[in-house]
Amino acid sequence: MAVLEIRKYPDPVLRRKSRPVAGITPEIQKLIDDMIETMYAAPGVGLAAPQVGIPLRLAVIDVSTKEENIPLLVLVNPEIISTEGEQSEEEGCLSVSDFQSVVTRFAKVRVRATDRDGKLCEVSGEGLLARAFQHEIDHLDGVLFIDRISPLKRGLFKRRVRKNLKEDKAAI
């Protein structure tokens, strides 16, 4: 297993819609293991393949440090099949450094996906798990949590990123 590089905004791979995983191959199993190790090392509660530069519909989620009795989840080709209610909580992202903001999402979500053994499954979640499902599936569609905040906050964030990128280039 290996800890992979987490791509940071504004890396273009984060904006691409991911392609479906064709099958659970040994290479996909290794990618899953590497993504799990990367997520724990970061540390985070979820990680999508585009965040490590691979535009595939694959995500790993583990909210067990914050919510008990929820196992590590591997979601291959996940899709949201039902939603309910609304919740607004502060959210951050491993690919969006040093920025958090309140994001409104569905309170309950049901997801259909293939697990790492190739079995089709459905998983429901609420609270943090529902938020993680939506956040990671957004990544697979090229959507970042900053796309779900007010234009004013998003503009402030983008200006800060541009300023930091200019300062980094000047330091080289």
Q: What are the residue numbers of the active site?
A: 136
C-alpha 122/C-alpha 104 separation (Å) is 23
**Could you tell me which of 23, 21, 111, 115 has the C-alpha nearest to residue 60?**
115
Where do we find the tokens 């504004």?
Answer: 10
**Could you tell me which of 9, 47, 49 has the C-alpha nearest to residue 31?**
49
Written in H, E and C, the secondary structure of 78-102 is EEEEEEECCEEEEEEECCEEEEEEE
Q: Is 68 exposed, middle or buried (0-12, 13-18, 19+ CB in 10 A)?
A: exposed
- Copy the structure tokens of residue 132: 């993680």
